[in-house]
Every structure is written in structure tokens, then in C-alpha cells.
Amino acid sequence: MEHIKQNFSIKDLEHLSGIKAHTIRIWEKRYNILTPDRTETNIRTYDLENLQKILNVTFLNGHGYKISRIAKLSDPEIGKMVKEVAATASEENRAINSFKVAMVNFDSNLFHNTYQNLLDSKSFREIFLEIFIPLLNEIGFLWQTDTINPVHEHFLVGLIKQKLYLNIAQLKTPEEYTDDYLYVLFLPENEIHDLGILYLNYELSFHRKKTIYLGPSMPLHDMRYLLEIHPNPTFISYLTTEPKNLSGFIKEFDATLGNDLKMELNLFGSKVQSLDPNNFPSHIKIFKSIPEFSNQLIS
């Protein structure tokens, strides 16, 4: 088990709060907003309390409060004001900040408490689309810039998956299917990032659609056995890191599963974001977002 990260650079604070390092330095010098320690070479380091404070200050500043006013408040007063503003303003930013702090400090209780509070005003679908997806996009950036360790991302994604599995299990029973149309959800070989495909399974189940969930790293040739029982499903995949060669993957998909009948394949994920859907044959559908797909399911 890796040690919990307790000290942060000013770049870490910039990435986590969205406030430029230059602005953070000005706030320190002019308003004493933060109290960093310094290394022997005079480099600023910040503890978890400083991180939490900059997230709270950012939240208030983003909701119209001038930094000069915030600076006059004590830390408990800032925390109290954040709660008051959050009660009437948008929940999204504060929830995302809370989830970030929970992730950085491996705090499961903070994650679950934040999630439960959101359920008072939002459905699970709203929480996932409005908060978890923007949060995960930010986490991906933080991981790429070495602000967080991959272990932080794994911790957070594991907690989100727990909520997904629970909500999928609660949704439906087979007799509630609206039709016989079948969706098969899978990830290609060596693709293990399954959060997106899991949520698509939830979204289809929410709309009472019949699904077969095959999960990560699924060889195409193994899915041929499925066609003996279900000859004409729609396939769905969510591509984050694999396949390296997308056109080769599509050709293999058609050759392995299509034969004379072209099977429909719906593709999602970061690897298809820059692609033009018009450059693909009609049975290959490119979706830039989950809501774009979900809107088609509403009958």
C-alpha cells in the first residue's frame, strides 16, 4: 500500500483547484490565504489543510465572492460559508472538490457522504453525467501531469464502480424488457478501462433494453459462439487505450463477426473523439458522448 500523499507543490494546487500558480502566489503574498512550508531550496510545499482551503476559496471565488472578503474570514468561517453557498448554488463544483479531496486522501467516508448528499437532489444518472464524468476528465489530466499517482485514480474509479454495480442490480428484471433488441457490450483485447462500458450497460438497462455484458479484454473470435444463439445483436465498445489500430480492429470485427451480414458496432471513448462519423460505413457508428446515444433510446 502506498503512503497517502500529504504534501503538494504549487503546480499540484494549480491542477487541483484550477487557479494559476501565479494567482496563488499573489493570494499568499497579499492576503495570506495559504501558509506553505518551504524546502531547504526555498520551494513551497503545501499540506492537506492548505489543499482543502484552496478548494474552498476557489469555490467561493467562483460564486462571486471577492478574494479580499474571503481573506478576512477564518478557516471555520470559510467552511461555513461554503456550506451556505452550496445549499443555494450549484452542487457540482463543491461535490467535485469533495471527491478530489477524498481521492487524494484515500477517504472512503468522504466519498460516500458526498455521494449520499447528492442523492437528496439528484438521480444516479444525473450524478454520473453531471459530476462523475467531469470529475474523471479532470482526474485524467491530473494523472497525466503527475499531480496524482495512478493508485489515486484506481481508488476513485473503484468507488464509482461500486455505485454502478449497485444501481445496475436495482434497475430491472427480465420481464421488464421493452423489446427483443439485444445489445452486446465488450472491450477489445488489452482494453481494461471498463467504467465507460459499465455505465453504458446501466444506461441501456435504465431504458429497459436487453443487454449481454462481456466486460474487458474480449477476443473477437470468442464472441462468434454468441451469434449461434443471438444472430443479430448490436455491439457496443468503449475505446480508451486500445486498439492501437482502429481501422484494423474494424476490419477484424467485420471479418470475424460480420460475414455477409454487417453487424452494427457502436463506438465510444477517447480514441474516437477526433474521428468524423461520416468517414465510416453505415454499420459503424461513432458517438462523441453517452447522452448522444441515450437520446436515441427514448421511444
| Total residues found in the chain within this entry | 299
What does DSSP say about strands 37-38 and 44-45: parallel, antiparallel, or unpaired? antiparallel
- Domain boundaries defined on the chain: 1-89, 91-171, 173-297
- Note the pLDDT of residue 140: 67
Scored b (16 or more CB within 10 A) or e, 20-46 reads: eeeebeebbeeeebbebeeeeeeebeb
Distance between CA atoms of residues 229 and 22, nearest Å = 62
Neighbours of 68 (CB within 10 A): 9
Distance between CA atoms of residues 263 and 170, nearest Å = 30
- Note the pLDDT of residue 163: 94
| Banded model confidence at residue 2, pLDDT cuts 50, 70, 90 | very low
The correct CATH number of 91-171 out of 3.30.70, 3.30.110, 2.60.120, 1.10.1240 is 1.10.1240
Share of the chain above pLDDT 70, in %: 89
Rg of the chain (C-alpha set) = 23
pTM here is 0.68
199-214 average pLDDT score: 89
Class of domain 173-297: alpha beta
CATH T-level assignment (fold) for domain 1-89: Multidrug-efflux Transporter Regulator; Chain: A; Domain 2 (1.10.1660)
| Banded model confidence at residue 176, pLDDT cuts 50, 70, 90 | low
Q: Do domains 1-89 and 91-171 have the same CATH topology?
A: no
Distance between CA atoms of residues 74 and 174, nearest Å = 56
Pair 269, 240: CB distance under 8 Å:
yes
- Note the pLDDT of residue 15: 81
- Note the pLDDT of residue 273: 80
- Note the pLDDT of residue 275: 81
Helix axis angle for 133-144 and 92-104, nearest 10°, is 40
> How would DSSP label each residue in 20-40?
-HHHHHHHHHHH-----EE-T
Summarised one tens digit per residue, pLDDT across range 7-64 is 888 888 888 788 888 999 999 989 888 888 888 888 888 988 888 788 888 878 877 8
Nearest C-alpha neighbor of 267 from the set 280, 252, 248, 255: 280
- Note the pLDDT of residue 3: 45
User: What's 273's DSSP letter?
Assistant: T
Cis amide linkage into residue 243, ω under 30° from 0: yes
Summarised one tens digit per residue, pLDDT across range 63-94 is 788 898 999 998 888 888 877 776 655 667 77
